[in-house]
């Protein structure tokens, strides 16, 4: 029993260190000049094995949805080496990958760069593209510098303890200002609208839910800066983002909803953002109730 507890303690300390040293994916992407990039991750379902874009920067909802492919799609396309593998449109090398992208960017791609990592037989794949825009050129960093950050990004996905700690601290500070004004941002209909033209190889409910979750997480990355500490927000399920605002004055729900939707136009499209819903969920005067709302609803 003592050995189990010791190993659990070591794992927790390792996760904490990883959390504190791994930069946010978008911050790292910007720092390295990646304007359009994402991580394609293996996804096991009852109907088969797929790849899903679990982290993204600079791609819209259509590309996140289009990037879902059966695992077999990658057979023979990616070498089993943890190094950059680059394909240029000038040599007609990008054609096999064009359908991974939305219509807005598909024909603008000048190069696609892949970096497999974690597992040689079933790798996660970092993907970065360049477009015909001269300002969109990339100087690829060494693979050995990128892989530790990418591994950290993937490995921290399930580290809920640190997320709870951060939310807890924000709520405690916020309650010193006012009770928590609670909101639910529902993106379910807008996400469905944004990807309505995408045809999945398998019409699987779990697969569609996973895509919706990935797009909701991309939306959260975009709007989270609108709710700086001590305000707090967290991605829920079913295309929902929970928000807790701390302000002595009453919030105008319509203005706030409009402001959020306007920031999501590039991700979801102008038409789809008309279906973004911001719903009031009451006021909470204590930390436990606010934290439960953000994490569970």
Q: CA angle, corner 60, sides to 56 and 66, nearest 5?
A: 85
Does position 53 have pLDDT exceeding 90, yes or no?
yes
| Residue count (the chain) | 297
pLDDT, one tens digit per residue, over 83-115 is: 999 999 999 999 999 999 999 999 999 999 999
Does position 25 have pLDDT exceeding 60, yes or no?
yes
- pLDDT for res 91: 94
Q: CA angle, corner 23, sides to 128 and 40, nearest 5?
A: 35
Q: Are strands 109-117 and 85-88 parallel, antiparallel or unpaired?
A: antiparallel
Top pLDDT among 175 and 48 is at: 175
Does position 226 have pLDDT exceeding 50, yes or no?
yes
Top pLDDT among 110 and 204 is at: 110
- pLDDT for res 149: 95
pLDDT, one tens digit per residue, over 271-280 is: 999 999 999 9
Residue 7 exposed, middle or buried by CB count within 10 Å (0-12, 13-18, 19+)? exposed
pLDDT, one tens digit per residue, over 242-293 is: 999 999 888 888 999 999 999 999 999 999 999 999 999 999 999 999 999 9
pLDDT, one tens digit per residue, over 112-165 is: 999 999 998 899 999 999 999 867 788 999 999 999 999 999 988 866 777 899
Does position 21 have pLDDT exceeding 70, yes or no?
no
8 three-state secondary structure: helix
Q: How confident is the model at residue 12 (pLDDT cuts 50, 70, 90)?
A: low
What is the side-by-side strand order in the sheet with 69-70? 69-70, 48-57, 37-45, 124-131, 109-117, 85-88
Which two tokens mark 170? Answer: 């924000």
Does position 5 have pLDDT exceeding 50, yes or no?
no
Does position 6 have pLDDT exceeding 60, yes or no?
no
76 three-state secondary structure: coil
- pLDDT for res 95: 95
CA distance 237 to 225: 20
CA distance 129 to 137: 9
């Amino acid at each position: 029993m003592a050995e189990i507890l010791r190993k659990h303690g070591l794992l927790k300390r390792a996760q904490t260190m990883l959390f504190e040293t791994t930069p946010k994916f978008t911050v790292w992407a910007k720092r390295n000049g990646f304007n359009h990039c994402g991580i394609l991750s293996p996804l096991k379902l009852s109907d088969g094995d797929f790849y899903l874009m679990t982290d993204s920067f600079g791609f819209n909802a259509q590309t996140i949805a289009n990037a879902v492919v059966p695992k077999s799609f990658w057979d023979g396309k990616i070498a089993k080496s943890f190094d950059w593998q680059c394909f240029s449109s000038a040599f007609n090398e990008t054609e096999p990958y064009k359908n991974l992208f939305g219509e807005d960017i598909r024909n603008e791609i000048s190069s696609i760069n892949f970096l497999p990592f974690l597992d040689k037989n079933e790798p996660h794949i970092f993907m970065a593209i360049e477009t015909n825009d001269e300002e969109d050129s990339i100087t690829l960093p060494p693979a050995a510098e990128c892989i530790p950050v990418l591994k950290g990004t993937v490995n921290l996905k399930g580290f809920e303890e640190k997320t709870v700690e951060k939310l807890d601290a924000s709520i405690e500070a916020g309650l010193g200002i006012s009770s928590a004004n609670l909101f639910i941002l529902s993106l379910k209909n807008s996400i469905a609208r944004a990807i309505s033209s995408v045809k999945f190889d398998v019409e699987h409910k779990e697969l569609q839910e996973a895509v919706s979750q990935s797009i909701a997480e991309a939306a959260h990355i975009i709007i989270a800066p609108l709710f700086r500490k001590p305000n707090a927000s967290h991605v829920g399920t079913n295309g929902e983002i929970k928000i807790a605002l701390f302000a002595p004055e009453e919030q105008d729900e319509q203005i706030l909803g409009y402001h959020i939707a306007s920031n999501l136009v590039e991700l979801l499209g102008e038409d789809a953002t008309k279906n973004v819903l911001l719903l009031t969920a009451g006021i909470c005067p204590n930390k436990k109730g606010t934290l439960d709302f953000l994490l569970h609803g």
